[in-house]
Chains A and B, each alone.
Chain A
Amino acid sequence: MIGRGGAGPKSSTATAATPVDARGRALPKHADPSQPLLVVDDLRTYFELDGATVHAVDGVSFKLQQGEALGIAGESGCGKTTTALSLIRVLPSNARIVSGSVRYFGIDLVPKSAEALRRYRWREISIVFQGAMNALNPVHRLRDQVAEPLMERLNMSESKARKRAGELLELVGIPKQRGSAYPHELSGGMRQRAMIAMALACDPAIVIGDEPTTALDVMIQAQILELLERLRRELGLSLILITHDLSVIAETCDRILVMYAGRVAEEGSVSEVFRHPRHPYTQKLLSAFPNITADRRTLDVIPGSPPDLREPPPGCRFAPRCPFVMPVCSEVVPPEVTFDGVRVACHLYPPGSDGAPAGMLARSSTPEADGGAPSVSTRPAEAPRA
């Protein structure tokens, strides 16, 4: 299991003057440290594409506690990256958040103006982008790229920023001297490390990893994951890890959020969801998921393809591919029901079937053995542990 050294008890002793979080970081002015770190509620982000509206993220809710690591899984195109980018609104010009809220220590970021939101970027929430080949600017030296947020966002002097950049590079395992290299002179793993150093520069509360290990070979993937884990432990970071590789989530995260076609399919603690996947989509994912030590494959091995998000099917979006499809599935959107701390949106688990109300958010604190086991028997996948 993942160590959680130093990271957060929920209680906090907020002083009236400057709020601080569990790690003692100073928070933005109106932040309420007694509130959860991040609460996303009914988030909807749509794209305008050639006159059509693409419902890329369509009513996603989740919560992130301090020190927690949440994995968001799903096939490519399911809206997991758009969800993450919506948090600090780094979206393409044809995308907009239509509704919902993103509360950071109680502050809703959605209604904020671009200039106001800018202050939250990187200092509160930073992103480690995928691959890091193009995420790093090809014409600038590594050290300058790591130093840039320090100078621009923390107003550090150039010499101090460069020194700190060197330290950050060392922290992620890049020798200081390599700081004078350009991105193309580094291996994929090194670039990914540099990207992580950049993301840590302003000591953010939340680091989002957007497929941080994709496009790297297995050995390097393991090293990067180890690095992320170590940093989380040492720095008490809260992590959102977006990946289509379930083994990454199994190794690194506390909780998992499975998305399908812009909606949450299932969400719960990693141990519970991997042991008892309830949503047929999660079951499919896990059964398609090979033995961890043998081979890492992507998730995209389920027959059929995700629905067209310009005209999403009414009812459950997984219905066309679901082996347990019922008449109700293609008509009514399944409500999100909480079950043993696991939130599922599936008609196989109607609200009240086990007495649990249809809540917005799962409380991931009370795991219980096999309470309302689904009536459908499935081949349970083993929860893989590295």
Chain B
Amino acid sequence: MKIGYLGRRIASALITIALIALINFLLFRAMPGSPERVILGRTPNVTAQILQQTRERWGLDKSLFPDQFVAYVGATVQGDLGFSFIARGQTVTEVLAQRIWPTVILFGLGEIVAIILGLALGAYTGWRRGGPVDYVGNGVSLVLYSTPYFLLGMAFLLVFATTFRWFPTFGMLTSGAQYPGLWERLIDFLAHLALPLATVAFGLVGQYAIVMRSSIVETLSEDYVTTARAMGLREGRILRHHALPNAMLPTVSLIAINLGYVVAGAITVEVVFNWPGLGTLAVTALTSRDYPVLQGVFLLLGISVVLANLVADLIYGALDPRVRT
């Protein structure tokens, strides 16, 4: 029975990934210029032989469906996403690989901080609904929710880097710096990480707090909370033991659903701080119309979001006994 739930989720994730691949394939066709040029990019010294090889490799002489699509999917599965237009001779996969970790660290940590802070703030304001803490907390959440991430980043940069000079303004490490040891290197890294991380976290926190607050408010009107009150349990116990476990359920799915949307914010934060991750890569690729890299970013982020959703579904399954059966 548990297999049924899991199986359905996995199947759904696979279909989504397949659709992402299909969109990528179709976009690849819609792109201006001949497919050979698109695939080879600005690879130097393209000989007739290489051109011919490319055509065969991707089945460009054959029909669009199924031959070219099959060739595309086959190559994608093997991690072959073609060549970058800009980074000469480098494959898209190589370009992406260099940029994954900075994004994973920045965005992963940001998400964790935002989820913890957001859920705590949301739960507390929902619990104290109508009180002064609720008005202030909810107001701050709404303003943060309405603020574009990069704007928040620019404000942080202005205040904490330019004015107070507490943190460096850009990059992941001080350029050209020599470090006596690993420790100093880490400190420098953390100093660079602080502002972008705070931006990602504060950018997300409003949204999560709002979701959690409304979820708690809804849960508090449930009958089992009335039962718990009638039972004479302490307020804190009712919140922790009865309201929270149930309020978490819709929150988990909403956070998961919004991940795809939230990626937009991550991209712009990286741009503001010149953080060398997938976001700055995407924007550089956009500026130079480096489509293969853009598509690679889309595919990679798409798959990540789908997998994150799958994880969220599993968490949901663990939290809610009802979906397990």
Contact = CB atoms under 8 A, between A and B. Distances in A.
Whether both chains belong to one complex is answered with yes
B230 A152 contact: no
A92 B319 CA distance: 28
Interface in B301-325: 319-322, 325
Contacts of B230: 85, 88, 90, 121-122, 126-127, 129
Interface in A38-52: none
Interface string B234-271: 10010001100110000000000000000000000000
Interface stretch (B75-83, B144-152, B198-206, B218-226): B218-226
B321 A139 contact: yes
B132 interface: no
Given A90-B226, A134-B223, A138-B224, A122 B231 contact: yes
Contacts of A182: 321-322
Contact of A120 (B226, B232, B241): B232
A139 B245 contact: yes
Contacts of B234: 118, 152
Contacts of B105: none
Does more than half of chain A's interface fall in helix, strand or loop, or is it mixed? loop
Interface in B249-300: none
A133 B224 CA distance: 9
A170 B229 CA distance: 25
B108 to A, nearest CB: 28
Contacts of A121: 229-232
B231 A184 contact: no
A129 B223 CA distance: 8
B226 A129 contact: yes
Contact of A123 (B226, B232, B322, B325): B232
A138 B320 CA distance: 8
Does more than half of chain B's interface fall in helix, strand or loop, or is it mixed? helix
Contacts of A127: 227, 230
B2 to A, nearest CB: 14
A140 B227 CA distance: 13
Contact of B224 (A126, A136, A149): A136
Contact of B325 (A92, A185, A198): A185
Given A138-B320, A139-B319, A184-B322, A152 B233 contact: yes
Interface residues of A, number: 30
B232 A118 contact: yes
A136 B227 contact: yes
B316 to A, nearest CB: 11
A135 B226 contact: yes
Given A121-B232, A148-B231, A153-B231, A137 B242 contact: yes
A140 B320 CA distance: 9
Given A139-B320, A185-B325, A134 B222 contact: yes
A133 B233 CA distance: 20
Interface in B14-49: none
B222 to A, nearest CB: 6
A385 interface: no
Contacts of B232: 118-123, 149, 152-153
A185 B227 CA distance: 19
Contacts of A137: 224, 227-228, 242, 245-246
Contacts of A85: 230
Contacts of A152: 231-234, 237
Contacts of A140: 245
Interface string A80-108: 00000100101011000000000000000
Q: What are the 4 tightest A-B residue pairs by CB atom distance, in nearest-first order?
A: A121-B232, A134-B223, A137-B224, A182-B321
Interface of A: 85, 88, 90, 92-93, 118-123, 126-127, 129, 133-140, 148-149, 152-153, 182, 184-185, 198
18 contacts: A118-B232, A121-B229, A129-B226, A134-B222, A135-B226, A137-B246, A138-B322, A139-B245, A139-B246, A139-B320, A139-B321, A149-B233, A152-B234, A153-B232, A153-B233, A184-B322, A185-B325, A198-B231
